Chain A
Amino acid sequence: MADLLIELFSEEIPARLQSSAADNLQKLMTNGMVEAGLTYASAAAFHTPRRLTLTVEGLLDASPTVFEERKGPKVDAPEQAIQGFLRGTGLSMDDLEIRDDKKGRVYFAKITKPGRPATEIVSEVLEAIICNFPWPKSMRWGSGSLRWVRPLHSILCLLTSESECEVVAVEIDGIVAGNTTRGHRFMAPDAFIVKSFDDYEAKLKRANVILRAQERSDLIWQDATNQAFALGLEVVADPSLLNEVSGLVEWPVVLLGQIDDEFLGLPSEVLKTSMKEHQKFFSVSNPKSGNIECFVTVANIETVDKGVTILQGNQKVLSARLADAKFFWENDLREAKAGMVGWQASLENVTFHNKLGSQAERIQRITILARELAISVAADPDMVEAAARIVKADLSSDMVYEFPELQGRMGRYYAIEAGMCMDIAIACEEHYSPLGPSDDVPSAPVSIAVALADKLDTLTSFWAINEKPTGSKDPFALRRAALGVIRLILENDLTLPLLSVLGRANKGAGAEDLLVFFQDRMKGYLRDRGIRYDVIDACTAMPGNDDLTLLIKRANALQQVLATDDGENLIQGFKRANNILNQAEAKDGVEYSYGADIKFSESNIEKDLFTALDSAEAKIKATMATQDFTTAMAAMATLRGPIDAFFEAVKINSDSELIRRNRLNLLSRVKKTCLAVADLTKLEG
C-alpha cells in the first residue's frame, strides 16, 4: 500500500474557480487510476490561491495482473479472420488453444495483462489530466503551449510507502515534478522538501499557509465576530463573500476598521454593496440601531506593525469609494427632491431593446396596463398609475448607474424624498419581485399591480417580436417573468383571466401561444408543490383555464380527493361508466346524454344512484357557483358507494331496450357529474 500526494503550484487562481478545480482534480485522478486498476482507500483535495492539492491513501503498489480468455474464430475459418484475431489479441498462432465447441473446433486465446507499478500509472494519468484540465477559462504563457488557469510553476508528486518516498516521474511542458513546494509568498517564500501529506500540511502551516479552505473561513469568521463582539457590534453574515475571501488568502489576518463618520448617513444598502463589491469587506453593524458602522477586511499577511499600515490603507481606499457614493447619493437626492422629472425624461434616450423602443416607451405601456390591472388587485388606479410612472426612474440615478444591483432599493429612498406616499415608494422596490422561485412575493396592492404589469409587458413585448425562449436559451429571462406572474396571481389569490390580460397588454403577442407557455410554467410550479402531472392535465382541460387561481383550486381539490379511498374508487367507477357509455355510443351511433328516468329503475340499488345523483348534483351546482371545488369534489365522492353498488348489482345490457337506454343515460349523468370539476379522463391508472 502507498499514499500519493500531488500539488499543482501556480500563480494566483481566481477564488471562484478553486473549489471546483480541486474537486475535478480528485475526481479525474482517482477515476483515471481506478480505470487502470489502481484502487485506493480514501482521497481528499484542497485548494489555496496558489495550489491545488490531492492526497490519496491506501493506493495499491501496482495494478493487479489480469487474465482474460477470448473466444476466436473456428479452426476452419478463413485465414483473414484468424489473422484478425491474432492482431486483436497480440498473440501468435502458437499461443492459441484449440477447444471443442458446440459449433466445432474453435481457437481460444489466453491473454495475460501484467500489472503495472503505481508510479507508471500515476505519472500517465496525471500528465493526461494536467494537459486536459477542465478549466472554464484557461491561458497560455511565455513560449509554452500548456494551458492552465494561470501560469503553472511546479508539480509535486510523491508516492510514499512505509519504506520509501518516491518522486513520480512527470514532465509537462518543461515542468519536472519534484518533492518540494513553497510557503507563503511573502512570509515564507523559500522552497522546502516534503515527505508525506501530514508532513506537507504541517510544514505549510509553519510556512504560513493554511491548506484547508474550511479552516481558513472558520478562522476568518471566528476572529471577525470576536473582534466585532468586543466592540458590541455584529458582523453581517455573507457566506458567499466569506467563501470568496477565504479563496484570496493563504494566511488570513482579520482587521476591523471604522467607517468615517461623514459616510454613516448613507443608506446601509449602499455601504454594504460598495464595501462588498469594490473592497470585499464585511459589513459590521450596531445591533442597537441596525446601522453599519465598521468593516472587516481580511489581509493575507502578518506584519510587524500588526496590520496598522494595511488597515490605514484600506480605510483610505474605502473613504475614496464612499466619497464617490456620497457624491452620487447627494446628487440623486437633489434630483429626487425635484420630483425625478429629469430622470424620467432621460429614460427616453435609453434603449430598452432596439425593436421595443426606449425605457420611457416601455414605462408608458406598463403604466397603462398597471392602471387596468388595479381593479383586479383592489388597488387605487390613480396611485398605481403614479407608481408605475416612477418605479424605474432610479435607473437614471448615479447610484444605480454605479451599483445596478441597487435598482429599486434606491428607487424607494428617492420616492420618499420626492414626497410620494409609502405605497408608491414600496412599489419602487417591490415591483421587480419575485425574481426567483424562492423570492418573496409582494402583497401590497400597488406593488402587485405594477409588478404584474412590468412582467406582462416584458413577456408580451418579446413574444410580439418573436424573441421566445428556446431550449436553454432565455436571454430576456422570460421564464422567470412568467413564473413571477404565476406566483403573484396565486400567492395573492387573484382572479385574473390571463387570456384577456395578455391580449390587452399587447395585441400582437399571440395570447393563445403565450398562454401555453404560461401553462407549461404553471405545470412546473404545481409539480414543485407535489401536484401530480395528470391532475394538472385534468384541470387544465377545463374551461377558464387561463384563470390560474381557479386552476390551482381545482387541482388542489382533485389531488385532495384522489388521496382518499372514496376518491380513488370514484375515479374507477367513473372510468367504467365512461368506457361502457363510449362503447355503447360508438356501437349504436347515438349519444346517450339525456332523459334517464327513475321510473324505469328495476331495483332499489338503481334508484339509490338516481337519488344520490340528485343530491350530489344539487350540491355541486351550488358549490361550483362559489368555486368551492373541495366541497364539490367531496359531494362527488359520495357517489362512490352508489356507483359501486350499481355496477355490482345491475346489468346495463338489459333485454329491454328501453331499460338499457335508460341505464346508459344514467351513466351519462354519472359522467357529466363527475366531469364538473375536472376532466377525469386525463387521469392515469
Chain B
Amino acid sequence: MDTPKSFQEIIMRLQAYWSENGCAILQPYDMEVGAGTFHPATTLRALGPKPWAAAYVQPSRRPTDGRYGENPNRLQHYYQYQVLIKPSPPNLQDLYLGSLAVIGIDAKLHDIRFVEDDWESPTLGAWGLGWEVWCDGMEVSQFTYFQQVGGHDCRPVSGELTYGLERLAMYVLGIDHVMDMPFNDPSAPTAMKYSDVFKQTEEEYARWNFDVANTDVLLRHFEEAEIECEHILSQAHIDPKMAKKIIMVHPAYDQCIKASHVFNLLDARGVISVTERQAYIGRVRALAKKCADAFVQTAAGTA
C-alpha cells in the first residue's frame, strides 16, 4: 500500500476500510464531546443485546489541552476515529492491524505492540480491558473490550477502537508539528495545512477556555443540563399524544453530554477544586447511568 499524502486521505482510507469490513459509517455527533466514546453510537449502543457495527470520525474537545496551537502535539480540538463492533469479533486484533496497513503502517517494518491499558471513564460509569497500541513506541490507538457502561454489564461485549487521528497521521506522514501537516493533497491547487484550518481557532478557543469563559454562566448551564436530563427521564414512558411508548433517552443523553463538556470547561478555568472535582464527575456519572437505565428499556436496547 502506498503512503497517504494528507490528513484527509488517512481519514478516507480508514472510512473505506471499515466500510469494507462491514461497519455502518456514521457522521460525527453534533455536540461538543471529550472523546468519540461519548457519541451515542458508542455509549448507548454498547448496551443491550442487539448487534452493532459502526465507525465514524468524532471531533473531540479537551479544553485543558489547549496550547494556542503552539505545542507540536497538543490541541484543545482534535479528531478521533472510533469503531464499535458488538459482539466483538474473534479477529478484531487482525482487523485492527489491517486498518494500520491501509494507512501505510507496514507491520513487518514497524514495532507494533499491545500494551496493557485498562480503560475507565468515571464520567460514563464505564470500564473495559484492553491495550494502548504502540507503533515504534508511540501510542496510536486505544483498544478496549467494554465490560460495563453506565453501570450495566455489556452482554454481548463490544470491541472499541479509538485512533487519535492527528497523532497517527503525523507519524504516518512524518510530520513533527501538527500545524505543519498537509490537510489536503499538497499538490492540490489550494494546498492547505492543518494550520490553515485550525491555527487561529486553537488560539481563540485557548484564550476563551483559559481566561474568558464566564464561569457563572457555565455553572448555570451545568445545573440546567442536569435538571433537564432528569426532567426528560422522569416523563411517563407512554407519550399521551402518540399513545405509544417513547422513552426519550437520546434527548436526555444530550443533556448528559452537555453537562460533561461544561464540566471540562469549568475545569480549564481552574474553578473546580480537587474535592469538588470528584463530586462533579459523580453528578455526570449519575446522569449517564440514568440514561443507560432508560436505554435498556427501549427497542434499540432490548432483544
- Which residues of A are at the interface with B, using a C-beta cutoff of 8 A? 11-12, 14-16, 49, 137-143, 149-151, 153, 186-187, 248, 279, 281, 297, 299-301, 303-305, 307, 309-314, 316-318, 320, 323, 327, 349-351, 354
Closest to A49 in B: B114
Q: Which A residues lie within 8 Å of B1 (CB)?
A: none
Contact of A314 with B156 in the complex, beta carbons under 8 Å: no
Q: Which residues of chain B have C-beta atoms less than 8 A from A11's C-beta?
A: 93, 114
Given known pairs A303-B108, A310-B136, the reply for A142 and B87 (CB within 8 Å) is yes
| Given pairs A12-B113, A187-B108, A313-B111, 5 additional interface contacts (CB within 8 A) | A141-B145, A186-B107, A310-B109, A312-B136, A351-B273
Of A139, A300, A311, A323, the residue contacting B113 (CB under 8 A) is A300
Compute how far the CA of A317 lies from the CA of B73 in the bound complex, rounded to whole angstroms. Answer: 10
Cα distance, A279 to B115, chains bound together (Å): 11
State A351–B273 Cα separation when bound (angstroms): 8
Contact B109 A309 (CB under 8 A): yes
Known: A137-B118, A310-B111, A351-B274. A142 touches B136 (CB 8 A): no
Residues B145 and A143 in contact, CB atoms below 8 Å apart? no
Query: In the docked arrangement, what's the CA distance between A142 and B159, Å?
Result: 8
| Contact among A15, A141, A314, A349 for B137, CB-based, below 8 A | A314
Instruction: Please tell me which one of the listed residues B138, B157, B275 contacts residue A140 in the complex, with CB atoms under 8 A apart.
Output: B157
Chain A residues lying within 8 Å of B109, measured Cβ to Cβ, are 303-305, 309-310
Question: Do B116 and A16 touch across chains, with their CB atoms under 8 A apart?
Answer: yes
Considering only residues 134-156 of chain B, those with a C-beta below 8 Å from chain A are 135-138, 145, 147, 155-156
Q: How far is the CA of A311 from the CA of B138 in the complex (A)?
A: 11
Q: Which B residues lie within 8 Å of A281 (CB)?
A: 137
State A649–B129 Cα separation when bound (angstroms). 82
Counting CB contacts under 8 A, is B251 at the interface? no
Please indicate the chain B residues that have their CB under 8 angstroms from the CB of A138 in the complex: 129
Name the 3 nearest CB pairs between A and B, nearest first: A313-B136, A14-B116, A12-B114
CB neighbours (8 Å) of B89 from chain A are 142
User: Measured between C-beta atoms, what is the minimum distance from B233 to chain A in Å?
Assistant: 29
Contacts of B116 on A, CB cut-off 8 Å? 12, 14-16
The answer to whether A317 touches B136, judged by C-beta atoms less than 8 angstroms apart, is yes
CA distance A307 to B110 in the complex (A): 8
- Cβ contact within 8 Å between B147 and A139: yes
Given contacts A142-B90, A142-B156, A186-B108, contact A313 B171 (CB under 8 A): yes
Asked if A301 and B273 sit within 8 Å, CB to CB, the answer is no
Contact B88 A142 (CB under 8 A): yes
- Smallest Cβ distance from B132 to chain A, in angstroms? 11
B128 within 8 Å of A (CB atoms): yes
Q: How far is the CA of A508 from the CA of B162 in the complex (A)?
A: 52
Nearest residue in A to B89 (C-beta to C-beta)? A142
Cross-chain contact of B73 among A14, A303, A305, A320 (Cβ < 8 A)? A320
Which chain A positions have C-beta within 8 A of B112? Answer: 186
Report the Cα distance A142→B51, complex, angstroms: 10
Let me know if B7 is at the binding interface, CB within 8 A: no
Residues in A neighbouring B73, C-beta threshold 8 A? 320
- Give the distance in Å from the alpha carbon of A141 to the alpha carbon of B157 in the complex: 5
B131 within 8 A of A: yes
Return A401 CB to nearest CB of chain B, in Å.
12
Which residues of the partner chain B approach A140 to less than 8 Å between Cβ atoms? 145, 147, 155, 157
B223 lies within 8 A of chain A by Cβ = no
A248 in contact with B113 given A137-B129, A320-B73, A351-B275 (CB within 8 Å): yes
Which listed residue (B108, B136, B176) contacts A314, Cβ 8 A?
A: B136
